[in-house]
Structure 1
Amino acid sequence: MMTIGAASSGWERAARAAFAGLAASLVACHWCPWDKDCDRWYGAAHDAPLRVVSHNLAVGPGGALAVAEQVEGFPRLRYAPRPSGTSVDLHAAISPAGFECPLVAVGDRGTILVSEDDGERWSTPATPVRDALRAVDIDCPFTTAAAVGDAGALLVARTNLDLWTPRETGTDRTLRAVALAGDLGFAAGDGGTVLRSLDRADTWAPIALGTSVDLVAVEFLVYPRQRDTAVIAGVDGVVWASDDDGERWREIDTGLPEPLLQLEIGPFYPRDGRLQLSLSMLTDSGVWHWYDRADDPLSLPYPLELRVHSFTEASMFGDPGPVVLVEGGLQVWRPCMTCD
Structure 2
Amino acid sequence: MNRIAILTLAALAFAGAAGAAAPSVPSFKDPLDLAAPATALGARMQLAAVTRAGNRLVAVGIRGLVIYSDDEGKHWSQARVPVSEELVAVQFVTPEIGWAVGHGGVVLHSEDGGKTWVKQLDGRIAAKLLKAHFSAKAAAGDSRARAYLNGVDLNYQDGPEQALLGVWFEDERNGFVAGSFGTLLSTHDGGKTWESWMERVDSDDLLHLNAVRGIGGNIYLASEHGTVFRLDRNKQRFVPTSTGYGGSFFGLVGQGNTVVAYGLQGTAYRTADAGATWQRIDTGVRSTIDGGTVLSDGRIALVTQDGQILISADDGRHFRPVAVRSRSLFQDIVQVGASSVVVVVGSDGLQLAGLE
* TM-score > 0.5 by shorter chain: yes
Unaligned runs of 5+ in 1: 3-43, 223-227, 270-277
| 2:126 alignment partner, SS class | coil
Decide which of 302, 314, 319 is 2:335's aligned counterpart. 314
TM-score, normalised to structure 2, is 0.67
Cα RMSD (Å): 3.2
**Which amino acid counterpart does residue 188 of structure 2 have in structure 1?**
R
Partners of 2:106 and 2:116 lie apart in 1 by 16
User: Is 1:253 aligned to residue 282 of structure 2?
Assistant: yes
> Cα distance 1:60–1:241, how it changes in 2: closer, same or farther (>3 A)?
same
> Cα distance 1:335–1:262, how it changes in 2: closer, same or farther (>3 A)?
closer
Partners of 1:294 and 1:157 lie apart in 2 by 32
| 2:120 alignment partner, SS class | coil
> Cα distance 1:298–1:58, how it changes in 2: closer, same or farther (>3 A)?
same
User: Is 1:145 aligned to residue 175 of structure 2?
Assistant: yes
Partners of 2:68 and 2:315 lie apart in 1 by 37
Decide which of 190, 210, 216 is 1:176's aligned counterpart. 210
1:237 positional shift: 2.8
Contact 1:183 1:197 in 2 (8 A): no
> Cα distance 1:200–1:267, how it changes in 2: closer, same or farther (>3 A)?
farther
1:153 positional shift: 0.8
User: Is 1:114 aligned to residue 145 of structure 2?
Assistant: no
Which has a greater percent of helix?
2
**Which amino acid counterpart does residue 62 of structure 1 have in structure 2?**
R
Counterpart in 2 of 1:9? none
TM-score, normalised to structure 1, is 0.69
Counterpart in 1 of 2:320? 299
Counterpart in 2 of 1:29? none
Counterpart in 1 of 2:228? 194
Which of the pair has the greater relative contact order for Cα pairs under 8 Å at 6+ separation? 1
User: Is 1:325 aligned to residue 325 of structure 2?
Assistant: no
User: Is 1:288 aligned to residue 310 of structure 2?
Assistant: yes
Q: Deviations over 1:128-147 (max 9, x none)?
A: 244210111222x4353211
Counterpart in 2 of 1:236? 265
User: Is 1:65 aligned to residue 66 of structure 2?
Assistant: yes
> Cα distance 1:103–1:200, how it changes in 2: closer, same or farther (>3 A)?
farther
Q: Deviations over 1:61-81 (max 9, x none)?
A: 2111112232xxxx7532311
Contact 2:211 2:250 in 1 (8 A): yes
1:199 positional shift: 1.4
Q: Deviations over 1:133-166 (max 9, x none)?
A: 0111222x43532111110111112242222222
Which has a greater percent of strand?
1
Partners of 2:114 and 2:275 lie apart in 1 by 34
Partners of 2:190 and 2:165 lie apart in 1 by 21
